[in-house]
């Protein structure tokens, strides 16, 4: 792997690393050279050079805010570079919009779906692509032939609203591939998929490149890099800092390049294996319920939630979280996990059932009362309920204890800033100052700030952490779980709700699986049976009981 600190060296590394055909360098499908992009005073990309080749998967890596999405949007014509040049099949390429990019054979699957829910798959696939008379029968046959070639299961006549998340992802991909692009850009496409659906998507990528297409895959998942990447490029602060033509062998070095700061030798010691670590091989009690009642940090007894239409979203949920234990809740999003987290945070009322914190019934408690009872909450939507974006970082760090800094009707701002700086250092929250607006922080730093606030709650007994690493890079994920483990080791009971199965298996002491509001099964992660347990959990996540 070539690690580079200067952009000129980075550009040279691309050329030197170009694949050869019959002893001659291959022509790149897309070549980007010296790309610069600014947003006001902020420089998102600085002299970035990249080459993408037909028949290869090129993984784009980097921390949140490193410039990955900006670079993809430059490829796709969403943003125009302030400097630099691009060539498509050797000819100058200057897209002014996504329509230009699509016309030139570049398609992009965004992280969030852009489908029309109330119409069929076929209608979604043909939107904006067919002019004049539409022969639906012929177009349906064309779609079926394409999905058969790619090995996908997709019914053109199905209504999109009735599809699973994985099926919707397939529609997005086929919508791009039906245009027969030369370059397909995938922005974190596996974030909300079942394990089996992830495998199917990666198989599809392999078939796409076998047809001669170039694929850019933005991902934070190390298993995906090992499995499918032909090449990888790491961005840091808008610059290329490392490349690899053998990513599966260079994963550890690529991760170090992502999180290492120039001149900071301490970063060499940072653990980079959180996302793929094997479970701890500690000895556990055969039954977690056999422990004394005094050990229970959180007890949930028959919690049920019905929505406004009377549909049951959470059904008879019963579980115990002991002190000094991390209990993971796995499952595809939309299977009752959000409702469980909302009830435990005091944001939603239960239709039936109760829950207890350290033996005290908190079922009807308001959020402020739960805070006083020792419940810390990291919500899945940090922007909507986890922070006040227009307030400062300092104010957000102390939202749950502003009274501690009130004296005679005035806020002790100097003391708040001093304590905020200490928390920023302890939890590695990176910002120009404690006074910056919270909305100006990157997603990873916002999440670390919310975690810092909740983990330093006075008398913390229970932490409810819902999707705490969503959208975070490998370095931020490692930091989040280091802090959660530390809380567990200090006796806090942790309920960890996540759609990232590999992370749950590496971090949790027990993993429970939810499907359509019910707990389908539970297991204690065991490194010696990891593959078998993943298969069993994947089956539970899909609703299979055996």
Residue 196: which CATH number?
Answer: 3.40.50.300
pLDDT value of residue 471: 65
Shortest CA distance to 305 belongs to which of 272, 264, 336? Answer: 336
Q: Considering 262, 286, 309, which residue would you say is the last residue of a domain?
A: 262
On the question of pLDDT at 286 being above 50, the answer is no
Give the pLDDT band of residue 263 (cuts 50, 70, 90).
Answer: very low
Residues 58 and 174 in one domain: yes
pLDDT, one tens digit per residue, over 80-115 is 999 999 999 999 999 999 989 999 999 998 766 678
For the chain, the distance separating the N- and C-terminal CA atoms, rounded to the nearest angstrom, is 45
CA distance 453 to 401: 9
Tell me, what's the pLDDT at 328? 96
Q: How confident is the model at residue 385 (pLDDT cuts 50, 70, 90)?
A: confident
d(CA 161, CA 325): 39
Q: List, edge to edge, every strand of the sheet that includes 30-39.
A: 42-52, 30-39, 83-88, 91-92
Q: Are residues 235 and 316 in the same domain?
A: no
Determine, yes or no, domain membership for 271.
Answer: no
Burial class (CB in 10 A: 0-12, 13-18, 19+), 58: buried
* Structure confidence at residue 20 (pLDDT): 57
- Domain boundaries, position 145: 2-262
User: 126-164 as b/e, with b when 16 or more CB fall inside 10 Å?
Assistant: beeeeeeeeeeeebbebbeebbeebebebebeeebeebe
Pair 242, 301 in one domain: no
Residue 65 predicted with pLDDT over 50: yes
Ranges of beta strands (E only) in 310-433 are: 312-322, 326-330, 352-357, 360-361, 375-378, 406-407, 410-411
In a domain, 270, yes or no: no
Final residue belonging to a domain, choices 216, 245, 262: 262
Confidence class for position 258, pLDDT limits 50, 70, 90: confident
Residue 357's CB is within 10 A of a number of other CB atoms, namely 21
d(Cα 517, Cα 337) in Å, to the nearest integer? 7
Contact 527, 279 (CB under 8 A): yes
Do 441 and 508 lie in a common domain?
yes
Query: How many Å is the Cα radius of gyration of the chain?
Result: 25
Q: Hey, is 454 helix, strand or coil?
A: helix
For residue 206, is pLDDT > 50? yes
- CA dist 12 and 93 (Å) reads 21
Same domain, 341 and 210: no
Instruction: Note whether residue 269 is domain-resident.
Output: no
Please indicate, yes or no, if residue 280 is contained in any of the structural domains.
no
What pLDDT, in 10s, does the model give residues 395-411?
A: 999 988 888 888 888 88
Contact 463, 470 (CB under 8 A): no
Could you tell me if 189 and 322 lie in one domain? no
Q: Could you tell me the two tokens for 115? A: 């489908």
Token pair in block for residue 375: 């419940």
Average pLDDT rounded to a whole number, residues 293-300: 83
In terms of domains, do 305 and 167 share one? no
Residue with the bigger pLDDT between 305 and 41: it is 305
The answer on 343 and 209 residing in a single domain is no
In sequence order, the 6+-apart residues with CB closer than 8 A to the CB of 188 are 111, 218, 219, 220
Q: What is the pLDDT of residue 532?
A: 85
249 with 330, same domain: the answer is no
Most confident of the ranges 86-100, 285-299, 329-343: 86-100
Side by side, the strands of the sheet bearing 106-109 are 2-3, 239-244, 231-236, 57-62, 214-218, 183-187, 106-109
For residue 77, what pLDDT band results from cuts at 50, 70 and 90? very high
Pairing assessment for the beta strands 326-330 and 493-497 based on DSSP bridges: parallel
What pLDDT is recorded for position 157? 83
Residues 254 and 319 in one domain: no
User: Is 217 a member of any domain?
Assistant: yes
- Average pLDDT, stretch 135-144? 80
86-90, 209-213, 292-296: lowest mean pLDDT where? Answer: 292-296
Q: Give how many domains the chain has, as a whole number.
A: 2
pLDDT for res 66: 81
pLDDT at 332: 73
pLDDT tens, residue by residue, 503-525: 899 999 999 999 889 999 999 99
44 compared with 140, residue with greater pLDDT = 44
User: In the predicted model, what is the mean pLDDT of residues 142-166?
Assistant: 77
**Residue 285 within a domain:** no
pLDDT above 70 coverage of the chain, percent: 84
Whether 115 and 128 have beta carbons less than 8 Å apart is answered as no
Please check whether residues 308 and 237 belong to one and the same domain. Answer: no
Domain co-membership, 231 together with 307: no
Q: Do the domain assignments include residue 277?
A: no
Q: What is the 3-state secondary structure (H, E, C) of 498-520?
A: CCCHHHHHHHCCEEEEEECCEEE
Please give the average per-residue pLDDT across 207-235, as a whole number.
88
Quote the pTM value.
Answer: 0.60
Q: Please say if the pLDDT value at position 362 is more than 90.
A: yes
Choose one of 262, 277, 306: the last residue of a domain.
Answer: 262
Q: What letter does residue 18 receive in the DSSP assignment?
A: -
Residue 472 in this model has a pLDDT that exceeds 70: yes
Chain centre to alpha carbon of residue 432? 25
Distance separating alpha carbons of residues 266 and 185, to the nearest angstrom:
35
Placement of tokens 């009752």 in the chain: 336
Alpha helical stretches, state H, 324-442 = 337-344, 367-372, 382-385, 393-397, 413-426
Which is nearest to 464 in space by CA: 502, 498, 419, 415? 498
Please give the backbone phi and psi of residue 228, each rounded to the nearest 5 degrees, phi first.
Answer: -125, -15
pLDDT reported for residue 274: 38
pLDDT over threshold 60, residue 215: yes
- Among 387, 390, 516, 377, which Cα is nearest to 460's? 377
Judge whether 283 lies within some domain.
Answer: no
């Amino acid at each position: 792997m070539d690690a580079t600190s200067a952009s000129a060296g980075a550009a040279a590394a691309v050329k030197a690393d170009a694949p050869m055909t019959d002893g001659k360098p291959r022509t790149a499908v897309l070549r980007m050279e010296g790309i610069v992009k600014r947003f006001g005073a902020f420089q998102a990309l600085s002299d970035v050079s990249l080459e993408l080749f037909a028949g290869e998967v090129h993984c784009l890596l980097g921390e949140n805010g490193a410039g990955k999405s900006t670079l993809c949007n430059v490829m796709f014509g969403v943003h125009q570079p302030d400097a630099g040049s691009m060539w498509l099949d050797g000819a100058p390429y200057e897209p002014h919009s996504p329509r230009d990019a699509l016309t030139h054979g570049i398609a992009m699957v965004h992280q969030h779906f852009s489908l029309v829910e109330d119409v069929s798959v076929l209608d979604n696939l043909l939107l904006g692509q067919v002019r004049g008379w539409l022969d639906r029968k012929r177009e349906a046959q064309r779609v079926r032939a394409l999905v058969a070639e790619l090995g996908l299961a997709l019914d053109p006549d199905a209504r999109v609203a009735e599809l699973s998340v994985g099926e919707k992802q397939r529609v997005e991909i086929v919508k791009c591939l039906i245009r027969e692009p030369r370059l397909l850009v995938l922005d974190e496409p596996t974030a909300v998929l079942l394990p089996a659906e992830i495998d199917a998507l990666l198989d599809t990528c392999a078939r796409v490149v076998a047809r001669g297409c170039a694929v850019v895959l933005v991902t934070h998942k190390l298993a995906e890099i090992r499995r499918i990447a032909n090449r990888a490029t790491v961005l840091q602060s808008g610059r290329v800092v490392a490349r690899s033509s053998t990513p599966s062998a260079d994963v550890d070095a690529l991760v170090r390049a992502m999180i290492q700061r120039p001149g900071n030798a301490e970063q060499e010691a940072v653990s980079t294996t959180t996302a793929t670590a094997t479970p701890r091989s500690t000895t556990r009690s055969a039954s977690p319920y056999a422990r004394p009642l005094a050990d229970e940090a959180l007890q949930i007894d028959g919690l049920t939630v019905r929505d406004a239409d009377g549909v049951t979203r959470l059904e008879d949920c019963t579980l115990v979280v002991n002190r000094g234990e991390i209990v993971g809740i796995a499952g595809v999003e939309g299977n009752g996990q959000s409702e469980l987290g909302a009830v435990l945070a005091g944001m939603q009322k239960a239709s039936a059932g109760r829950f207890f914190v350290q033996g005290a019934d908190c079922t009807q408690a308001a959020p402020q009362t739960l805070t006083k009872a020792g419940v810390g909450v990291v919500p899945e939507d940090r922007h909507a309920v986890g922070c006040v974006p227009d307030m400062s970082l300092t104010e957000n760090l102390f939202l749950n204890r502003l009274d501690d800094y009130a004296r005679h009707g005035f806020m002790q701002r100097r003391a708040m800033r001093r304590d905020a700086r200490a928390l920023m250092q302890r939890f590695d929250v990176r910002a120009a100052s404690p006074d910056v607006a919270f909305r100006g922080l990157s997603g990873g730093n916002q999440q670390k700030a919310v975690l810092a606030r909740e983990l330093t709650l006075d008398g913390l007994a229970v932490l409810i952490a819902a999707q705490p690493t969503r959208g975070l890079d490998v370095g931020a994920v490692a930091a989040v779980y280091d802090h959660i483990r530390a809380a567990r080791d200090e006796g806090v009971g942790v309920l960890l709700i996540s759609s990232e199965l590999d992370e749950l298996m590496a971090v949790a002491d027990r993993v429970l699986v939810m499907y359509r509001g019910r707990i389908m099964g539970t297991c204690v992660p065991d490194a010696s049976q990891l593959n078998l347990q993943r298969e069993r959990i994947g089956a539970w996540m899909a609703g299979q009981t055996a």
